[in-house]
Amino acid sequence: MTPTKADFESALRTVNDPEIKDEINNYMLSPRYTTTVRDMSPQSTVRVSEPSPGNISSPDIWSDISMSAQMSETAFSETLNNITVQDSAYEQYHMVRTGTARVIHYIPDPNMSCGYADMRDHINYQRETISTEELKIIAKADRHFHVLALIEDGAKVIIDQWLFLMLCVMRQFPGKFELEVTPWRLFLAWVLSAKHEQDYHTWRRYDLVLGTVDYSTEYIRSSTGITYENAATFDERMQRMADYTMIWPPINLIKMAACKWSTIVKLDEVAARTTHTMRPTTTLWDGMHIPNGKVLKRCYSSYQEDVYLPDGSSKIPTVESLNAESVLPGRHWMIQDWVPQLRQLGELKVYFVDMKVVYIAVTRYSPSKSGWEFSVNPTIPTLAEMYSLYTQNRSRTDFLIWPQASDRAGEDAGRAELLEYATKTLDALIAYERRAAYGATSLTGMCRMDIGVLFRASRCDYFVSEIERTIGLGIFGPDMVSVMAGRLGSLWLDMLTS
């Protein structure tokens, strides 16, 4: 059965995203893939052809969008995993792998999906050279990389950092991992179509499932295709999938972290009892009055959305609009002290894997570039030095790093001071979360701690402005992607072999 015009028109009626609609229309006008479906019985063979190098960035629209409406659940699962069924679908679900490599299934975050024009200036994309074999592995993740040029034995690409990180894991641990990549639209269609127990058995062939949406943010949004109508079904089936494979980090722990108010309360406790440092005051919004000169931030806020700053860079919301965005459970609005130094000076970002520091980055917004600048593993002043600089000249923007190595000599006491604060805070926060969740926390795997500096009349202190802990957190510094890959690869191997 070959998809007909009516099939595509049916798919168009079920899709809201205008970019996906355009892709379907383009596919109807100029097909780039050949999809052959012979028989939909459990004994059928389903084959989706590989794209040619010249079409590597073109999505297989039929496979990604309309297949779920046209195929039986068995055939859909076969296509997802590129399985040829010979005896029965159920037997294939219980296949035994003969190799020793651990199989990773990666689903790129749909919120990082974009076209080439946006990739060029996106801080989470970088230019790399990959092999032909690597190109085949990531071929279906079409809107997460773009081929700049085909070369002998490979290609020059611009690529999503986390997709490249997965390839780096394969490079650094040869023979230890196998990698499969599924585009989000196909994965979502499978999840929403899975109804029978045998549908979930196909996931037993994967040791680790990484990616999908960022559950610590607002994932009910047009870019994901998850709606208020299908969200409960999606969540329930993802939890069922977790019975058959390891989804990392665990979904339930990341959802707990999405309630930023809970994390802020714990951070306030850590500052008062452990580090004895100052923090901006945060309270829950009363739902009636919008205060002046304060930051408004919502739990589940994502990608700098649902955050209103008092510096004129954000449109002033109304009481009605804020209440309309907090109807779902846990979507509380918070009022927080405005710390202008966060935008002026930037933040220190400390990366942890397996509770050990991997590296430090400094990020600062550049008005002249209308974007972020970053520096990796800089020489950091001590807090006393920062305070002295600040009192001498409050218009300076380089307090978090010494721009010239000759500006200071001797031991990097500033870095040691920062790491002591960060590790103490992480250890205490882990203890709080473990008590609240019967011993479980996602912070022990991977996290990025965003740290600002709070200046008061007589001193300055570090404070944690944000904790990121999901696959997809921003990696500031392209050279650090391979470093993170080495640490995460070791962590995943230990998890899967212990």
Indicate the SS3 state at residue 288: coil
Q: Is residue 256 part of a domain?
A: no
- Cα(351)–Cα(469) distance, integer angstroms: 10
Residue 385: partners with Cβ closer than 8 Å, 6 or more residues away: 408, 414
Residue 69: partners with Cβ closer than 8 Å, 6 or more residues away: 7, 10, 11, 14
Q: Is residue 271 part of a domain?
A: no
Q: Which of 120, 172, 167 is nearest to 141 (CA)?
A: 167
Residue 20 has a pLDDT of 56
Burial grade of 38 (CB within 10 A; 0-12, 13-18, 19 or more): exposed
Residue 31 has a pLDDT of 38
Residue 68: partners with Cβ closer than 8 Å, 6 or more residues away: 76, 189, 190, 192, 193
Q: Is residue 480 part of a domain?
A: no
Q: Is residue 481 part of a domain?
A: no
Omega of the bond leading into 249 within 30 degrees of 0 (cis): yes
461, 431: one domain: yes
Mapped to the 3 state alphabet, what secondary structure does 302-354 carry?
CCCCCEECCCCCCCCCCHHHHHHCCCCCCCCEEEEECCCHHHHHCEEEEEEEC
116, 167: one domain: yes
* Domains contained in the chain, number: 3
**Cβ atoms of 383 and 462 closer than 8 Å:** yes
From first to last of its 498 residues, what are the pLDDT tens digits of the chain? 334 455 555 555 555 556 555 555 554 554 333 332 222 223 322 222 233 333 333 333 323 323 333 333 344 344 444 433 233 333 333 334 445 899 999 999 998 999 999 999 888 999 999 999 999 999 989 899 999 999 999 999 999 999 999 999 999 999 999 999 999 999 999 999 887 777 888 899 999 999 999 888 888 888 899 998 999 999 999 999 999 999 999 988 888 888 888 899 999 999 999 999 999 999 999 888 888 889 998 888 765 678 888 877 777 788 888 888 776 777 888 999 999 888 888 899 999 999 999 999 998 877 777 777 888 888 888 999 888 888 887 776 666 766 555 455 545 889 999 999 999 999 999 999 998 877 788 999 999 999 999 998 889 999 999 999 988 889 988 889 999 999 999 999 999 987
- Cα(335)–Cα(310) distance, integer angstroms: 11
Per-residue exposure over 320-339, b if at least 16 CB sit within 10 Å of its own CB, e if not: eebeebbeeeebbbbbbeeb
Residue 56 has a pLDDT of 36
**Cβ atoms of 160 and 124 closer than 8 Å:** yes
Indicate the SS3 state at residue 45: coil
- Cα(202)–Cα(92) distance, integer angstroms: 8
Residue 301 has a pLDDT of 77
41, 159: one domain: yes
Q: Which of 62, 43, 70, 81 is nearest to 193 (CA)?
A: 70
**Cβ atoms of 441 and 430 closer than 8 Å:** yes
Nearest 5 degrees, angle CA 301-CA 451-CA 112?
40
Show the tokens assigned to 227.
């709606």
**Cβ atoms of 41 and 15 closer than 8 Å:** no
- Cα(127)–Cα(265) distance, integer angstroms: 40
Taking phi first (over 0 means left), then psi (-120 to 50 degrees means alpha), and beta for anything else, what does residue 67 get? alpha
Q: Which of 263, 253, 293 is nearest to 439 (CA)?
A: 253
53, 180: one domain: yes
- Which domain CATH number covers 430? 3.30.470
- Cα(450)–Cα(463) distance, integer angstroms: 9
Residue 97 has a pLDDT of 45
- Cα(232)–Cα(212) distance, integer angstroms: 16
Q: Which of 173, 180, 176, 174 is nearest to 99 (CA)?
A: 176
Torsion over CA: 423, 426, 428, 434 (sign): negative
- Cα(98)–Cα(479) distance, integer angstroms: 35
Q: Is residue 168 part of a domain?
A: yes
For 269, other C-beta atoms within 10 Å of its C-beta total 13
Torsion over CA: 12, 24, 181, 220 (sign): negative
- Cα(353)–Cα(356) distance, integer angstroms: 5
- Cα(140)–Cα(35) distance, integer angstroms: 14
Q: Is residue 438 part of a domain?
A: yes
Q: Which of 26, 11, 115 is nearest to 71 (CA)?
A: 11
347, 326: one domain: no
205, 92: one domain: yes
Cα Rg of the chain (Å, integer): 24
H/E stretch holding 190 reads: helix 184-193
- Cα(161)–Cα(186) distance, integer angstroms: 21
Q: Is residue 117 part of a domain?
A: yes
**Cβ atoms of 312 and 497 closer than 8 Å:** no
376, 438: one domain: yes
Residue 310 has a pLDDT of 85
Range of the domain at 334: 281-338
Residue 411 has a pLDDT of 57
163, 111: one domain: yes
For residue 217, give Cα distances in angstroms to 103, 128, 255, 258. 27, 29, 9, 6
**Cβ atoms of 97 and 126 closer than 8 Å:** no
405, 307: one domain: no
315, 369: one domain: no
pTM attached to this predicted model: 0.79
430, 363: one domain: yes
Domain boundary among 338, 361, 377: 338
Residue 198 has a pLDDT of 78
352, 368: one domain: yes
Where are the strands (E) in 177-225, listed by range?
177-181, 208-211
**Cβ atoms of 163 and 183 closer than 8 Å:** no
Q: Is residue 478 part of a domain?
A: no
